[in-house]
Structure 1
Amino acid sequence: MAFYEDFSKVYDQVMDQSLYDQWLAFTNRHLAKTTQSIFELACGSGALSVRLAQQGYQIVGLDISEEMLTLASQKATRAGVSIDFVAGDMRELSGLGPFDCVTCYSDSICYMEDLNEVKKVFSEVSSVLTKGGQFLFDVHSLHQMDAIFPGTSYHENEEDFAFLWDSFAGESAHAVIHELTFFVKDTDGKFVRKDEVHKERTYEIEQYLSALTDFSKVEVYADFTDDAPNQESLRWFFVCVK
């Protein structure tokens, strides 16, 4: 499982920031009106956490990467909002909560090694939700993993860093391997190379639904919209009620 250790250095520069506005819009459309507290799993550099906090919600953000949480704390300070950021693993949430809503976006569930780990996350989320609380998350679709990612490349060259992202089909069904290479300028002006490998995997919608046993209602949408998924959808969104 990748922890975005070196990626954190250039994450905000290569990440499409407009995506956070789309995650925010989707969340706002589906949040219960009574929601006060939100727990953001895999909060990364805090872009969505800050946006939600600015709307008045009580936010706790969790990420496995200490480097990402440093960026998130700095971002919250600059924005003038108070957010509790916690270093931890979404597969172990004991001692946290309860929360009115839990979110897990940016296909972070796809970083789980297998379906058993996915089920573990779902169980842990249920344990920190209030009765009637919501769980909002997204994953890559089968189409995205099988037909779009394999063989694609994204390269960016800036003054103080260069970034190469190449994707290949994984060994398991509906899996992909992302090979990331960074050249980041050090304090002495020299560029330092760092390499990371990120592995993602997704499953059929029915498998996700079968794993959400602790939730009484589950709705599935596609690509930041309120439309049902189709064969060419790239990202599936789940809105679950405990």
Structure 2
Amino acid sequence: MMTYEAFAVLYDELMYDQPYDKWLELTVPYLNGKQSILDLACGTGSFTALLPKQLDRVGVDLSEDMLTVAQTKDPSIQWLVQDMTALELDMTFDVITCFCDSMNYVTTEEDLNKLFSHVYMHLEEDGVFLFDVHSVWKMTNLFDGQTYSDETEHVTYLWQTEPGEEENSVYHDMSFFTLEEDGRYRRFDESHYQRTFPLEFYIELLETNQFTVEKVFADFNTDRPIEEDAERIFYVARKKCKR
């Protein structure tokens, strides 16, 4: 099994095609006149480091090794090791983000409720929470026993998907072959488990936690309605009520 330390080193090379600029484009309109932003499940900080430098920026991730890499990208950002379902910071934020389907690693209704509750507590009044998730359609059609592969200069990987035991869940089993200095390849194996929930469930749980859901859209297009074959669903929720 690959350790987080090994995976952190490979992460950026494997994620070379991630649309960080598109996530930034979606976020920037909510930053006008704001002072602070928290990026949850920030990984190696590629998106977080793109955020405007005049803001107070904080990145949170469960992996210390990921944050070690993030620190090299922008040491002016505060990088913190925490579980986002048990978030406990001594500050609040104007905007909180959680992108790159990181929310799909929260696989129980109980933990998702905890996460929304902690996000609410860490937002300023009128603060905004933006996140994305895999759609149910993507889980059941693109992750239903498919095999994917890719190759970079130093890494070749095979990615197999299998449906999980729970509804709308998937196991991602990945094998990585990394090129060593002596010309030989070293193999690492990594397994991830994700789950998504229907659109209505996320909305209901956000509203239960006293968010106002301002916008729901698909696949980076803020004007696109949620069609059956949408792959990535985005939510924009605002903290309105005091508890």
| Same fold flag (TM > 0.5) | yes
Show structure 2 runs of 5+ residues with no match. Answer: none
Whole-angstrom CA distance in 2 between matches of 1:3 and 1:101: 32
Which of 126, 151, 160 aligns to 2:154? It is 160
Change (3 A) 1:112 1:216: closer
Q: Residue type of the partner of 2:235?
A: F
Structure 1 residue 230 and structure 2 residue 227: aligned? Answer: yes
Change (3 A) 1:105 1:195: same
Instruction: For residue 33 of structure 1, give the secondary structure of its aligned residue in structure 2.
Output: coil
Alignment of 1:61-80 (within 5 A): 61-77=59-75
CA contact (8 A) 1:44 1:72 kept: yes
Change (3 A) 1:221 1:3: farther
Whole-angstrom CA distance in 2 between matches of 1:185 and 1:204: 41
Change (3 A) 1:68 1:52: same
* Other-structure match for 2:200: 206
* Other-structure match for 1:36: 35
* Other-structure match for 1:50: 49
Which of 78, 84, 90 aligns to 1:84? It is 78
Whole-angstrom CA distance in 2 between matches of 1:67 and 1:196: 15
Whole-angstrom CA distance in 1 between matches of 2:31 and 2:138: 30
Q: Residue type of the partner of 2:48?
A: S
* Other-structure match for 2:8: 8
* Other-structure match for 2:217: 221
Structure 1 residue 239 and structure 2 residue 233: aligned? Answer: no
Whole-angstrom CA distance in 2 between matches of 1:234 and 1:116: 24
Q: Percent identity between the aligned chains? A: 38
Question: What is the deviation of 1:217?
Answer: 1.5
Question: What is the deviation of 1:75?
Answer: 1.5
CA contact (8 A) 2:107 2:196 kept: no
Whole-angstrom CA distance in 2 between matches of 1:98 and 1:41: 13
Instruction: For residue 74 of structure 2, give the secondary structure of its aligned residue in structure 1.
Output: helix
Instruction: For residue 225 of structure 1, give the secondary structure of its aligned residue in structure 2.
Output: coil
Instruction: For residue 207 of structure 1, give the secondary structure of its aligned residue in structure 2.
Output: helix
Question: What is the deviation of 1:116?
Answer: 1.1
CA contact (8 A) 2:129 2:237 kept: yes
Change (3 A) 1:90 1:74: same
Whole-angstrom CA distance in 2 between matches of 1:21 and 1:122: 25
For residues 130-169 of structure 1, give each alpha carbon's deviation from its aligned partner in whole angstroms, at most 9, with x where no partner exists: 1111100000001110111222222233443222211111
Q: Residue type of the partner of 2:216?
A: V
Length, aligned pairs only: 235
Q: Residue type of the partner of 1:215?
A: Q
> Structure 2-normalised TM-score?
0.89
Q: Residue type of the partner of 1:228?
A: P
Change (3 A) 1:5 1:202: farther
CA contact (8 A) 1:3 1:64 kept: no
Alignment of 1:89-128 (within 5 A): 89-128=83-122
Report the aligned-residue RMSD.
2.0
> Structure 1-normalised TM-score?
0.90
Question: What is the deviation of 1:4?
Answer: 4.9
Q: Residue type of the partner of 2:78?
A: D
